[in-house]
Amino acid sequence: MYRRSLILRHSNLPSRCINIIRNYSNSQPSDNKYKDYDFIIEENRSPQDIVKNYLSPEQIEGHIESEGVLPPQEMSPFRNPDGTFIKGKNSAEARLDDRTLEGKIDHSITELPHRIAKTIQNNIIKLSIPARLRTRVAHIYQNLQKNQIQQAPSTPLDCNAHIAALFLQDYSHAKQVLSELQRRVGKDKFKPQRILDIGYGPATGIVALNEIMGNKWVPEEKEAYIVGRKNNEMKKRAKIILSRQLNENYSGKEVNLDENVVQKDQRPVQEEEDYVEEEEENSSEENDYVGHIDVKRLHIRTKLRDTLPVTKNYDLIIIHSSLLSKEFNFPKDVDDNIHMVLPLLAPGGHLVLIERGNSVGFETIARARQIMIRPESYPQELGKIPRPYIKGSKGKPQKMKKEDQFITQEDVEFEKELLAKLDYQEALEKARELGEDFEKELNEKFGAVSEEELKFENEDSEELEVFDVNTPREDMYDKVDYHLSVIAPCPHHRKCPLQLGDPKYYKIPDHRHRLNFCSFSKIVARPPYVIELKKGKKLAIRWDKSAEDGIGSISRNAVKRLAGSGRPGGRDTEVGSYSYLIVERSANDLETIKKIEDLRSYSDNVIDENDITNWPRIIATPNKLKRNVKLTVCSTEGNVETWQVPKSLGKQTYHDARKSQLGDSWALGRKTRTIKNQIPEAVKDKLDVLYKTSKKTFKKEQQRKRWKKKVGTSAEEFEDGFFATEVMASQLESSKKYKQQARQAQFEEDPSKFDGN
């Protein structure tokens, strides 16, 4: 009988014991002498040698045939012979159904490129005093928590704080949405040549798009409109960030796309990559440079605009958190901005809207969706037939209603006007026929009229569309050449089931109706500058929503515990929420327009289940129970439904349901469903009353707090104290003691004029 021996471990036995054992191990062990110590005999045999000595190849093959065990290289049905996955990026994705894998979004952790993070840290954030920067960042978070809307920064300190506070999450959201657009269109087909980015930040959409498309992507035109009249400081920082991307390198002249021809002061893309890599390796001191950068010497491909263009067309338009400027301007701001942007979208182009994942951001997206596809005009239509956008179309619909439709007095008057125009056209044709003989007499006397003389004024203009004489009248007047359809995240073109119509309803406290909105989350890794920023009392502690400053009261012991302990309980990732919408404009050729009209006229409301854009979207975290999974989805019928996916539905379906996450599209069906009722108009009327009542109560409480603070004998103390902090600061800076200490400190700049940058 074979006894397995253990290999000696030098780290566990003293050297003297090892030497004694080795001396005795040279001799052959006997049953009398070493029968109790054979487990420490030193061996060099491998497990393969042991198996070969006791099992023959015939025995191994017989065991495989009897037990049904396959060789190791053939055991996994999810891998290729070389060990790679048949589908997916990891073992979890390899076990999913093909449709489930196609409907999943990217749930990986987004990372900001190191070169961009280093530039932000060394050349933007470190130029501000840390205490002032953290104070301004905390103010941005407070304002965002209160108003839920981003504001346009103007001063250098505001721009630095905006980038430090919001750029990381905005970048991750833009990259996530643009990656989904690329996956839906197709990686080979998604090659936009004219791009426009609109937002308050440093061209965040262009930065994310550059990372997605790669270093060799050179489109025809890239433009970024930074919203705000005082946007010069943000444009400088956008130029600094964009200059760190290889596909933004520009020498000052037009780029020659021919790889064989290289103009002066230009390099091909591959040589540019090698050059940049060598520079990064050989000049570490230059990469660690901390200070201002002369942006006039930087040349990038992206054109930074001060105003929104009017006459251009773009294949891709990205609007990031800038549709609504003030909440009290809802929905006017959203409507006006959408009507300004849609004429710039070229046929076949895509419009991407991204907002913060709060109630205001969701209602902004829902309002923009309503303006573009008008779901109330097609209440019974299923599927995603492109909807006409009448305001952006050259041709306007002038069709009379059918006989079996309800007709109002306005319809009758409109039809009379339309029939009068048709009668007038027929009368002109008859008069033209009668006047042919008269035309011959005029030609004999004065000569024939040339083609140039017959042309109308501005007839050759590109803005006018010329039709052939034999073109039917309905083809000239009734064609709408601007159609829009939603790609993501909505699986339908009906009214949004979660849309309330106004963000004010979400601010009503203590009402029995739970108001949900559609938003998604994304995890992003914190770069060093964010980890360093969120230290200290203002940004490291837990956010207190009930406090005015977001910090609240902290005990001395809590502050002492924070001191010197780094980031207790801190993580190197953070989660941001966002709401988004991806819209596609259809082509405007006659064949496509006719196809859309035929689909709408002869549609039988049958949904194409093979189209990924029609798959239900998971809008809440799946509830995983024992032998069952509950999915809250936005269905193709335009309802919020709870789907039951039990284990009895199938092994693969149940497995995929347990692996599903928020934001995925679900294509494997369900066993039962529960439709959630939408809030009726009567309840909205009650919510209006509650909102007005709560608003009055809030104003009274604020006034009562203000009265309690006003205690004193001077009449000046009872004036408006909005600028009290600025007044106190100016008095301190104008005092003799302050000026004397400033002269002794020998500051390079005047402290009274220094704003932190």
Quick count: other Cβ atoms within 10 Å of Cβ 524? Answer: 22
Average pLDDT, the chain: 78
pLDDT tens for residues 356-381?
A: 999 999 999 999 999 999 999 888 88
Place of tokens 């995603």: 384
Helix (H) or strand (E) holding 484: strand 483-488
pLDDT at 291: 87
Rounded to the nearest angstrom, the gap between the alpha carbon of residue 303 and the centroid of all alpha carbons in its chain is: 22
What is the C-alpha separation between 325 and 152, in angstroms, rounded? 9
SS3 assignment for 450-461 = CHHHHCCCCCCC
Q: What is the DSSP string of 524-551?
A: EEPPHHHHHHT-SHHHHSPP-TTSSSSS
Under 8 Å between Cβ of 60 and 48: no
pLDDT at 233: 92
How many alpha carbons lie under 13 Å from residue 236 in its C-beta half-sphere? 18
What is the C-alpha separation between 488 and 203, in angstroms, rounded? 23
478 secondary structure, DSSP code? S
262 secondary structure, DSSP code? -
Banded pLDDT at 755 (limits 50, 70, 90): low
677 secondary structure, DSSP code? P
For residue 581, give the nearest of 514, 496, 639, 648 by alpha carbon. Answer: 496
645 SS3 class: strand
What is the rounded radius of gyration, in angstroms, for the C-alpha atoms of the chain? 35
Under 8 Å between Cβ of 85 and 93: yes
- Assess whether pLDDT exceeds 70 at residue 464: no
Q: Which class for 124: exposed (0-12), middle (13-18), buried (19 or more C-beta within 10 A)? A: buried
The residue ranking higher by pLDDT, 744 or 144, is 144
Region of poorest pLDDT, from 223-237, 518-532, 562-576: 562-576
What is the C-alpha separation between 242 and 123, in angstroms, rounded? 13
pLDDT at 644: 94
pLDDT tens for residues 473-532?
A: 555 555 788 999 999 899 999 999 999 988 888 888 766 667 889 999 999 999 999 988
How many alpha carbons lie under 13 Å from residue 163 in its C-beta half-sphere? 31
Torsion of Cα atoms, 470 then 473 then 478 then 479, to 10°: 0
**Dihedral sign for Cα atoms in the order 257, 263, 268, 273:** negative
Taking CA atoms, 666 is separated from 100, 103, 583, 652, 699, in Å, by 7, 6, 21, 13, 46
Under 8 Å between Cβ of 525 and 114: no
Place of tokens 């599209």: 665
What is the C-alpha separation between 80 and 86, in angstroms, rounded? 6
Taking CA atoms, 6 is separated from 54, 416, 558, in Å, by 19, 104, 54
Average of per-residue pLDDT across 176-202: 94
pLDDT tens for residues 304-314?
A: 998 888 889 99
pLDDT tens for residues 671-698?
A: 999 998 888 777 777 888 888 777 777 6
SS3 assignment for 294-325 = CHHHCCECCEEECCCCCCCCEEEEEEECCCCC
Under 8 Å between Cβ of 638 and 676: no
Place of tokens 């253990």: 6
49-58 CB contacts, 8 Å cutoff, 24+ apart = 54/2
pLDDT at 492: 93
For residue 575, give the nearest of 523, 536, 616, 634 by alpha carbon. Answer: 523
At 337, list the tokens: 């901005």
Helix (H) or strand (E) holding 379: none
Question: What pairs with residue 624 in β-bridges?
Answer: 629
Quick count: other Cβ atoms within 10 Å of Cβ 344? Answer: 20
The C-alpha angle with vertex 31 and arms to 30 and 36, in degrees rounded to 5, equals 110
- Assess whether pLDDT exceeds 70 at residue 205: yes
Rounded to the nearest angstrom, the gap between the alpha carbon of residue 605 and the centroid of all alpha carbons in its chain is: 31
Under 8 Å between Cβ of 518 and 362: yes
The C-alpha angle with vertex 744 and arms to 742 and 750, in degrees rounded to 5, equals 30
